[in-house]
């Protein structure tokens, strides 16, 4: 069995969670991990027995790394870390009665919020579970709170829109390529645009769709391609008759001018 490659740490941060200092790292594999020692110490758990429990679990064992180099006052030190998305699963196996009475309420808070806060430390830059702020946002009703909530909502909306557009664009490109292959096999184009001309058409369509998307905040690629196909009675821009290439480019440039007030940059 090949030896497991050492997990490289890209970024390390201390995260304050209800008075406890936890250490989280972003690793080269793109995942976020949390120092297992800090988690166990905060909950008064025996680290060695909990590590054995992780290794016996078929799912948790895949997200536990026992020898990751973390930065400490004494330099780089090997430490066990648990992938952040698996913290709820690990915590769900802990009974409140299994920890000291004074730590039972803390365990519940960890079960409810810890993974979210640790993940946000890298995604949104939030390094604390600010209980006072959360309570104020729930209780207060003034312009400052409304502005804060509105900005938070806008950030989340923009983030979701970016992810959705990237996903949809990738899927549309994939489907388009498949359809073009089928269409070319069923009805091989004759006297259609050249490969170079087809590329220019595609670039022009994407330029129009990009500018439209900036205004509508929607993915406009399918709509622009659809209008091109309807107007020129084709099922793929690669099937555009060569004799109508300049007509199509002029029409797309006119659409681009309407949206932006300027000519296309190519």
> What are the C-alpha distances in Å from 263 to residues 84, 200, 212?
49, 14, 15
The total of other beta-carbon atoms located within 10 Å of residue 116's CB is 13
Question: What is the C-alpha separation between 22 and 114, in angstroms, rounded?
Answer: 10
Question: What is the C-alpha separation between 141 and 87, in angstroms, rounded?
Answer: 34
pLDDT tens column, 45-88: 888 888 998 899 888 999 999 889 988 887 888 899 999 888 88
pLDDT at res. 139 = 61
The set of residues, in sequence order, having a beta carbon less than 8 Å from that of 62 and lying 6+ positions away, is none
pLDDT tens column, 140-175: 666 766 666 666 666 566 655 655 665 555 555 565
List, in sequence order, every residue forming a beta bridge with 81; answer none if it has no partner: 35, 65
**Which one is predicted more confidently, 245 or 113?**
245
> What are the C-alpha distances in Å from 19 to residues 2, 42, 120?
41, 9, 17
Question: What is the C-alpha separation between 223 and 209, in angstroms, rounded?
Answer: 8
pLDDT at res. 162 = 57
Question: What is the C-alpha separation between 258 and 30, in angstroms, rounded?
Answer: 42
Q: Which residue do the tokens 């073009």 mark? A: 180
Question: What is the C-alpha separation between 43 and 82, in angstroms, rounded?
Answer: 15
What are the two backbone dihedrals, phi and then psi, of residue 83, each rounded to the nearest 5 degrees? Answer: -60, 135
Is this model's pTM higher than 0.85 or not?
no
The answer to whether 32 touches 129, Cβ cutoff 8 Å, is no
Return the closest-CA partner of residue 221 out of 258, 160, 170, 169: 169
Average pLDDT in the 114-129 region? 59
pLDDT at res. 44 = 85
Q: Is the pLDDT of residue 27 over 50?
A: yes
The answer to whether 240 touches 225, Cβ cutoff 8 Å, is no
pLDDT tens column, 221-241: 888 888 898 888 888 888 898
pLDDT confidence tier of residue 125, bands split at 50, 70 and 90: very low
pLDDT at res. 36 = 93
pLDDT at res. 256 = 87
């Amino acid at each position: 069995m090949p030896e497991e490659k050492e997990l490289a740490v890209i970024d390390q941060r201390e995260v304050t969670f209800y008075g406890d200092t936890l250490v989280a790292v972003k690793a080269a594999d793109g995942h976020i991990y949390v120092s297992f020692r800090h988690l166990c110490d905060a909950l008064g758990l025996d680290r060695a027995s909990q590590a054995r429990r992780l290794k016996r679990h078929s799912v948790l064992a895949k997200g536990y790394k026992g020898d990751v180099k973390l930065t400490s006052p004494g330099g780089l030190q090997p430490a066990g870390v648990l992938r952040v998305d698996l913290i709820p699963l690990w915590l769900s196996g802990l009974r409140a009665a299994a920890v000291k009475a004074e730590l039972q309420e803390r365990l519940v808070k960890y079960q409810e919020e810890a993974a979210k806060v640790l993940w946000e430390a890298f995604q949104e830059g939030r390094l604390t579970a600010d209980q006072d702020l959360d309570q104020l946002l729930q209780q207060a009703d003034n312009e400052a709170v409304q502005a804060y909530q509105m900005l938070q909502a806008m950030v989340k909306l923009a983030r979701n829109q970016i992810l959705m557009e990237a996903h949809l664009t990738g899927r549309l490109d994939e489907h388009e390529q498949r359809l073009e292959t089928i269409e070319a096999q069923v009805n091989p184009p004759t006297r259609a645009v050249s490969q170079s001309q087809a590329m220019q058409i595609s670039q022009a369509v994407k330029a129009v769709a990009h500018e439209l998307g900036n205004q509508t905040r929607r993915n406009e690629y399918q709509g622009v391609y659809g209008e091109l196909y309807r107007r020129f009675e084709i099922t793929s821009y690669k099937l555009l008759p060569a004799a109508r290439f300049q007509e199509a480019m002029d029409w797309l440039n006119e659409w681009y001018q309407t949206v932006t007030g300027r000519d296309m940059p190519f």
